[in-house]
Amino acid sequence: MADLSFNRIEGVTTYLNSLTEKDGNVIHCVNVDTYPFGGMTKRLGYSTYLGTPDNGTVNTLFSWTKNDGTSLFTYRASGSSLYYSAQGTGAWTICGNGTIGNGAHVSYGTLDNTLVVADGVGSTRHTTNGTAFTDTTLAPVAVDISEYQNRIYAAGTASSLFYSTTGTATDWSPTSPSDSSSPFIPGGWKLLKIFKGSDRLLATKNNLAMYRWDGGDLVDLATHLGPSSPYAIGEVEDFRFWINRLGVFTSNGGKPQLISNAVQNQFYNDDGTGIAGSVFDTAAGGVHQYNYYVSIGTVTDNLVGEQISNAVLVYDYKHNDFVNYRFANFPTAYHSYKDANGVQQLIFGDATGQCYTANSGNSDNGVPIETSMQMVVHANTPFLSKEWGYIEVMTNPGCEAKLQVASADTFQAASKKWVEIGNLTNGFSQFRIPAESARGRLLFIRIYDSGSTKPFTLYGINLTYNLIAR
């Protein structure tokens, strides 16, 4: 009887050939994190953040801390209003001059203790007190805002990139001594998003073209792999992350690099069950503590064949791993900020007008978190049958996770007949694999739970087996 141990469990891989990958490859996981290193843990839940001043979809969340380091405001855009919360704890209150286009997203940037906002429809506005906004004279209607080289840059509604006078967010006059200007971004189509990388400003268009601006020279990056949604861009250590119809990409000022090979069939597959095309242009996303989150809707990869509704794709930058979440309330906007106590918080909004604080508690605002992860084992001999003996699983004592197995000769979803083995409450659990699953070329392992008391942490698995001679 041979032993096979898995004490380095990594994120989901469905695009690569699991028969040529290592044993114990995770082919499906929902609501787990790749923590600790080499293990898996059920994700934390969330609770409500403030109230619901309207029932409109929360399209934008952001925050601003003034130069005194203590005056904090969080903001939300929903319906036709921009709201603020003083110190991130006060009730949502409509900003002065806070009417925006109905359903509009709001972009923002800060300079010289001034916050500038734009919604792509009405006047660009600014505030110095955080609660009331003033129309910014001569500033363009803008689809996006960014600070760069001590100026505020504004992406216009066509292909002109505007910038303010050096050192001020409110002077947009092109007349000396002011030096505001508006370089033209060539190539047809219109501006979509602007952001910084490696001390350069990257300007993207809605045909996914990308340009790099250093304050004087404009460089065509000769690529059409830019972001398709301007609302799904996140940043870690000067690396920006985004999605388009080909996958998740990253860049720190150069050409984009594809990083999502492990889950490519969630983006497109031969069965047409990947991310819906309409999602790519409006998907919400953001970064919190080295994780990139993006709301991708309902997907079914064509390897495992299991549907994930209201899916959130999560990229763990530290571990270079992907997992999927399924929140009880589908996120429509994300924001990570440091609260008044200096704690980094992740908040998100939904289509009902409610916001939530994530990564706390063991339920989704009272709804149990349903977790499922599947692994496949071939014992490095996928073409030979095995007699599966014992399975040993190491978890945290007291958890509510349960174990199932299924033996099969192929990857067809219909060929997997799951057999319930038992619970993993003891921390170290050993089971004899039942006769109905004891023979097969492949062994599938499923760990799942739907409790809300004590999340599970999976540390490792050991299997015993015998090869069956031809």
Cis amide leading into 183 (omega within 30): no
- Find, among 30, 47, 45, the residue nearest to 452 by Cα: 45
**Strand, helix or coil at 162?**
strand
The 3 state secondary structure assigned to 176-241 is CCCCCECCECCCCCCEEEEEEECCEEEEEECCCCEEEECCCCEEECCCCCCCCCCCCCEEECCEEE
- Go through the domains of the chain in sequence order and give each one's CATH number: 2-43+371-467 (2.60.120.260), 46-367 (2.130.10.10)
DSSP code, position 270: T
Residues 6 or more apart in contact with residue 241 via CB below 8 angstroms: 233, 234, 235, 248, 249, 250, 259, 285, 287, 292, 315
**Strand, helix or coil at 163?**
strand
Strand duo 151-156 + 107-111: pairing? unpaired
**CB crowding 391-413: b at 16 or more within 10 Å, else e:** bebbbbeebbbbbbbbbbeebee
Amino acid at 97: N
- Dihedral angle over CA of 171, 177, 179, 180, nearest 10: 30
Sequence-distant contacts of 161-167: CB under 8 A, at least 24 apart: 161/185, 161/191, 161/194, 161/203, 161/213, 164/111, 164/139, 167/111, 167/112
For the sheet containing 58-65, what is the strand order?
58-65, 72-78, 81-86, 93-99
Answer whether residue 18 shows pLDDT above 80: no
Residues 6 or more apart in contact with residue 20 via CB below 8 angstroms: none
- Dihedral angle over CA of 96, 344, 37, 369, nearest 10: -60
Q: Quick one: residue 361, left, alpha or beta (phi over 0 = left, psi -120 to 50 = alpha)?
A: left
Residues 6 or more apart in contact with residue 413 via CB below 8 angstroms: 304, 305, 306
pLDDT at residue 17, as a whole number: 77
Partner residues linked to 243 by β-bridges: 248
Answer whether residue 469 shows pLDDT above 80: no
Cβ–Cβ < 8 Å for 169, 116: yes
Query: Over the stretch 190-216, which tens digit does the pLDDT of each residue have?
Result: 999 999 999 999 999 999 999 999 999
Name the residue with higher pLDDT: 100 or 381.
100
Query: Over the stretch 247-305, which tens digit does the pLDDT of each residue have?
Result: 999 999 999 999 999 999 999 988 899 999 999 999 999 999 999 999 999 999 888 88
pLDDT at residue 453, as a whole number: 87
Query: Over the stretch 164-173, which tens digit does the pLDDT of each residue have?
Result: 999 999 999 9
Answer whether residue 415 shows pLDDT above 80: no
- Find, among 77, 142, 141, 140, the residue nearest to 103 by Cα: 77
**Strand, helix or coil at 351?**
coil
pLDDT at residue 107, as a whole number: 98
Answer whether residue 20 shows pLDDT above 80: no
DSSP code, position 23: T
Burial class of 20 by CB neighbour count within 10 A (0 to 12, 13 to 18, 19+): exposed
CA-to-CA distance for 343 and 132, rounded, in angstroms? 26
pLDDT more than 90, % of the chain: 88
Answer whether residue 14 shows pLDDT above 90: no
**Strand, helix or coil at 437?**
helix
- Tell me what the pLDDT averaged over the chain comes to: 95
pLDDT at residue 7, as a whole number: 81
DSSP code, position 165: P
Q: How much is the pTM?
A: 0.96
Residues 6 or more apart in contact with residue 177 via CB below 8 angstroms: none
If residue 93 lies in a helix (H) or strand (E), which one and from where to where?
strand 93-99
